[in-house]
Chain A
Amino acid sequence: MHIGGIELVKVRENLWEIPATGQMRVTGRIYISQDMIEKGLKDDEALKQVVNVAHLPGIEKYSLAMPDIHWGYGFPIGGVAATNLNDGVISPGGVGYDINCGVRIATTNLEHERVKNRIDGLISKLFNAVPTGVGASGAIIKLSTADLKKVLTKGSIWALENDLGSASDIDFTEESGTLKNADTEVVSKRAFERGADQVGTLGSGNHFLEVDVVEEIYDAKVADVFGLFLGQIVIQIHTGSRGLGYQVCDDYLKVLLQASNKYGFKLPDKQLACAPINSQEGQDYLAAMQAAANFAWNNRQVIMHLAKKVFQDTFSMSESELGFHLLYDVCHNIAKIEKHKIGKEEKEVCVHRKGATRAFPPGSKMIPAKYQGVGQPILIPGDMGRYSYILVGTDKAMEETFGSSCHGAGRNLSRTKAMKSAKGRDLVGELKQKGIVIQAKGYKTIAEEMSDAYKDVSDVVDVMHKEGITRKVAKIRPVGVIKG
């Protein structure tokens, strides 16, 4: 078939290719169902962006997109591309403005049936404890530059050192919550200014803290290893590097636009500004991006700690009685140096995941020892009125997608259309009818973020499952939500 002049060739039920033509260095590959193509891709620029990414110098194997594909800046959302370290490039367009936007889920011993009458009070306390919304400053006092530098180099470890976490939290965070080549010297003063009072803030828009209940289990063995059971209360947190990350991206788009000219790259899109990974500009961006990523991990760690304290207080339980454990923390906007098989050899490449999640298989030494028998947990948020998913990584992901999978649902309606659709409706009441308590900074947020505004994340997750890239482990549904 052809969409917007781009040829799509069916490879498998849910896998399509864009043959390499013109200046494309590799083929494009999109994991998506025919139905999703018909419904969502025909008026979307995302396919053009898959083609554009295939132009990047040093790109290996494919320009990939996961089934939550929709258009972004430079890369499509759901885009994955790996570039070699010899003559390959790194691009902020393959990471995004919200560096290390990601998700974490913590499990508890609580059963929904026993605590459902206390969710209102719990959500109220969480809303007061966790700074949310536009312009809100942190639960942590404004940090000095010296302290903020420690956050940027240590990531989650800073939280641990400041009694805002435990060693086990670090073990169950991707990269142990710290990318070790972060360099604060290449992070601008402006980025520091934007991040100083945002430690421990949720942000706004599609960021959230949810109290969820495990509604369905698909793989009992893996669920058991992950510590999940039916009816269990879990906590899900979605946020990223806040203003600091946005500023790092903005700073380096400028630098790499100039670098693209300097190195003679002809870019189909300014947002694909890039530099050779082994150039000064490339190394500086990588180090600054890692610093921002560390900020984000620390942010999610601090917020989780605040949430744990609220749970203990609300249910009058000690830490061990509550059984509050971090299941895992994943990032879905990042570029990392990883080893992957290219042809017959294993080599180091820079994997860009822009709205895509790492999905490492059983046996990987990069995941906690506890999970090496089953594979890495992948956390896929849906929307606040329906469900989210917990998946597990597979060998097929390593073979086909550089160990990557989808990251979420993607929007269906613009904010304007969502507001229109919400007019005259009692959205809070509608959620209450479904057994969901919500507190948000304003009705506008609730309207813009309502379920109707999002695609069904089940469609996305099912494609990954059917193609064997990830396997479904559990479905969770919200019972309480806080939003900025």
Chain B
Amino acid sequence: MSKSYKFIDHTADIAVELTGSSLDELFIAGAEAWLVTVVGEIVNEQDDLIDLELSSASKEELLVTFLNELNYLLTTKKWLCLAVHSIKIFDDIDGCELSAELKGTKLKGDLPLKQEIKSVTYHQLEIIAKEGNYSTLVVFDI
């Protein structure tokens, strides 16, 4: 198994279980879950590229920052991230850093979205490493 996401029934918002065989794969699973939430299906028009660098105090905060960055690009720049490439995550006691290449497309007019995500929350967010796999629950406040 490399990465996966699974939506969990949640009364008010959207909860998703992410798994990955590495932190990098976990983050990609998060990006895919985010994309499916906001547009409903994976669309393959990747005609633009953004290089991204982020840092945070912990890997959990980094995941929230990363997914919120995708939201920011969409809601303010009308840029939809369709795939994450060349992602590298460094995690040590001084903090966490991420670099990635985002492939996507610039949208025109009003955004054709299925769901607005207000923000990615820290609720029950704890990245657990076990037997070579990483997993966490992420909740999107909608």
Contact = CB atoms under 8 A, between A and B. Distances in A.
Interface string A362-405: 00000000000000000000000000000000000000000000
A246 B114 contact: no
Nearest to B120: A250
B114 A134 contact: yes
A205 B125 contact: no
B137 to A, nearest CB: 13
A123 to B, nearest CB: 21
B107 to A, nearest CB: 9
A70 B141 contact: no
Contacts of A414: 9-12
A253 B122 CA distance: 9
Interface in B105-142: 110-116, 118-119, 121-123, 125, 139, 141-142
A270 B12 contact: no
A282 interface: no
Interface stretch (B20-28, B68-76, B81-89): B68-76
Given A254-B61, A417-B9, A134 B115 contact: yes
Nearest to B107: A135
B42 interface: no
B75 A243 contact: yes
Interface string A94-126: 000110000000000000000000000000000
A257 B121 CA distance: 13
Interface size band for B: 20 to 34
Given A243-B75, A417-B9, A134 B116 contact: yes
A257 B61 contact: yes
B9 A416 contact: yes
Nearest to B122: A270
A177 interface: no
Nearest to A246: B118
Give chain B's interface secondary structure class: loop
Contacts of B116: 134-135, 203-205
Contacts of A254: 56, 61, 65
Contact of A136 (B11, B14, B61, B110): B110
Chain A interface residue bracket vs B = 35 or more
A257 B115 CA distance: 28
A257 B11 CA distance: 27
A136 B78 CA distance: 12
A137 B9 contact: no
A465 interface: no
Nearest to A484: B116
B57 interface: yes
B30 to A, nearest CB: 16
Contact of A70 (B12, B75, B125): B12
Contacts of B122: 73, 253, 270-271
Given A97-B119, A97-B141, 18 more contacts: A72-B12, A73-B139, A136-B110, A190-B76, A193-B72, A194-B72, A205-B142, A243-B76, A250-B68, A253-B122, A254-B56, A254-B61, A271-B121, A271-B122, A411-B12, A413-B11, A415-B14, A416-B9
The 6 closest A-B pairs by CB, nearest first: A135-B111, A270-B122, A246-B118, A193-B76, A134-B113, A134-B116
Interface of B: 7, 9-12, 14, 56-57, 60-61, 65, 68, 72, 75-76, 110-116, 118-119, 121-123, 125, 139, 141-142
Interface of A: 70-73, 77, 97-98, 134-137, 190, 193-194, 203-205, 243, 246-247, 249-250, 253-254, 257-258, 270-271, 411-417, 444
